[in-house]
């Protein structure tokens, strides 16, 4: 008897083998596709021309249309928290609700941070007087109950709540990447106060979001980039001292408000040394499994952690998808399924968003192989 996409994802995340590996595209802002390559994909699929809607302006992600998701047999659908739109200034820069400023350079594909609103603050009192966003603003949650209800009752897809909640990464974007690293070492009280404010904000957002949509969700995405290509941003001890307590509070909020919802935690890079801590903090799924980073061998990760957490992603976007041929993509897909899917616990997708320069033939090869 065939199983539904929702059943397939649930079984996989509960460490049960399924008829095939579940697959994802576009259910979150870290599992999406850039607008440039999405337009090419539409042509490859011979679909009617249409205006491509931007799902995330900063990352230039496309909203993936339902006809594309159906053709590719994608098992997931996203329920996105809304957020307040950034102001577009006369010079083309974006000012977001945190007062961060981003610009799209003429030779780049994404908006880059050019101004950090908290960079020059000195004291905790300065932080208290900053104009923080309002977590109770209705704009975040408008229509989410109706959208969740529609997808839950009218489709049989697994539903993924795509929200925010980064502590370390948001503090970096507010203070500056270099400045906040110094804060963690030299201004610990200041750093802790900033992260406490962010945690209070995100806990309220999660309470509100899950209050209206949590009953429909199978998975909720959280994110905090704690690593780079070859190392962590900080030592494991510093993570445990300064950041992990705040992660535990956020994850505990989700477990309380939506106990049947799995927590997908996204962190790029060489995250291996912190995986035991993230499991202890409460995550259920690790994404994107950046297999080209140091220590991120998929087979080894499955062997060591595969009975405690599931994996989501895994198909290399740095080397294989953009630069290999169709046969190479098929080989990569076969390997990741072999490494990660035994006994369940794997949802297949690209490592992070599918980037410009990836041939649409390679995208189709990845998903077609997964269907086998």
Q: Which residues pair with 313 in a beta bridge?
A: 348
3-class secondary structure, 158: strand
* Backbone φ, ψ for residue 76 (5° rounding): -120, 160
Q: What are the distances in angstroms from CA 64 to CA 8, 51, 109, 367?
A: 21, 11, 18, 15
pLDDT tens, 139-194?
999 999 999 999 999 999 999 998 878 999 999 999 999 999 999 999 999 999 99
Q: Tokens 């046969």 identify what position?
A: 327
Say what the pLDDT of residue 2 is. 84
What residue ranges define each of the domains in the chain, with the CATH number in brackets? 5-85+118-371 (3.20.20.210)
Mean pLDDT of the chain: 96
Q: Is the pLDDT of residue 49 over 90?
A: no
> Is the pTM value of this prediction over 0.95?
yes
Beta-carbon count within 10 A of 123 CB: 12
Q: What are the distances in angstroms from CA 184 to CA 200, 312, 329, 347?
A: 19, 30, 41, 35
C-alpha–C-alpha distance, residues 302 and 345, integer Å: 9
Say what the pLDDT of residue 84 is. 81
Beta-carbon count within 10 A of 153 CB: 9
Q: Is the pLDDT of residue 272 over 90?
A: yes
C-alpha–C-alpha distance, residues 50 and 39, integer Å: 9
Beta-carbon count within 10 A of 334 CB: 13
Q: What is the mean pLDDT of residues 117-131?
A: 96
Tokens of residue 338, six digits: 């072999």
C-alpha–C-alpha distance, residues 1 and 315, integer Å: 29
CB-based burial label for 327 (10 Å; 0-12, 13-18, 19+): exposed
Residue 45 near residue 302 (C-beta atoms within 8 A): no
Q: Confidence band (pLDDT; 50, 70, 90) for 119?
A: very high
Q: Which residues of 220-242 are buried (b: 16+ CB within 10 A; e: fewer)?
A: bbbbbbbbeeeebbbeeebbeeb
């Amino acid at each position: 008897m065939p199983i539904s996409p929702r059943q397939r994802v649930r079984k996989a995340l509960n460490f049960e083998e399924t008829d095939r590996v579940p697959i994802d595209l576009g259910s979150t802002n870290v599992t999406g596709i850039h607008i440039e390559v999405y337009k090419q994909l539409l042509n490859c699929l011979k679909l009617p021309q249409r205006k491509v809607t931007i799902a995330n302006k900063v990352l230039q992600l496309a909203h993936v249309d339902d006809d594309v998701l159906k053709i590719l047999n994608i098992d997931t659908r996203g329920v996105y928290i809304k957020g307040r739109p950034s102001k577009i200034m006369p010079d083309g820069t974006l000012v977001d609700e945190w007062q961060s400023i981003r610009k799209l350079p003429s030779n780049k594909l994404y908006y880059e941070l050019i101004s950090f609103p908290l960079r020059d603050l000195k004291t905790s009192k300065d932080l208290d007087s900053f104009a923080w966003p309002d977590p109770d603003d209705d704009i975040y949650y408008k229509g989410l109950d109706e959208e969740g209800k529609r997808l839950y009752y009218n489709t049989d897809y697994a539903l993924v709540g795509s929200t925010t909640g980064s502590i370390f990464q948001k503090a970096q974007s507010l203070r500056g990447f270099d400045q906040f690293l110094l804060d963690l070492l030299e201004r610990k009280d200041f750093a802790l106060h900033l992260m406490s404010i962010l945690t209070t904000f995100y806990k309220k957002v999660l309470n509100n979001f899950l209050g209206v949509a949590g009953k429909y969700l199978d998975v909720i995405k959280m994110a905090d980039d704690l690593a780079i290509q070859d190392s962590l941003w900080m030592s494991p001890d510093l993570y445990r001292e300064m950041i992990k307590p705040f992660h535990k509070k956020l994850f505990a909020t989700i477990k309380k408000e939506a106990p049947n919802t799995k927590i997908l935690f996204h962190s790029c890079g060489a995250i291996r040394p912190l995986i035991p801590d993230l499991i202890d903090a409460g995550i259920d799924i690790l994404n994107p499994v950046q297999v080209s980073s140091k220590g991120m061998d998929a087979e080894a990760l499955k062997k060591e952690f595969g009975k405690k957490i599931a994996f989501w992603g895994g198909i290399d976007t740095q080397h294989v998808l953009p630069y290999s041929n169709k046969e190479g993509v098929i080989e990569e897909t076969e390997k990741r399924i072999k490494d990660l899917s035994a006994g369940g616990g794997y949802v297949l997708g690209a490592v992070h968003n599918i980037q410009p320069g990836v041939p649409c033939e390679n995208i189709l090869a990845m998903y077609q192989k997964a269907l086998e």
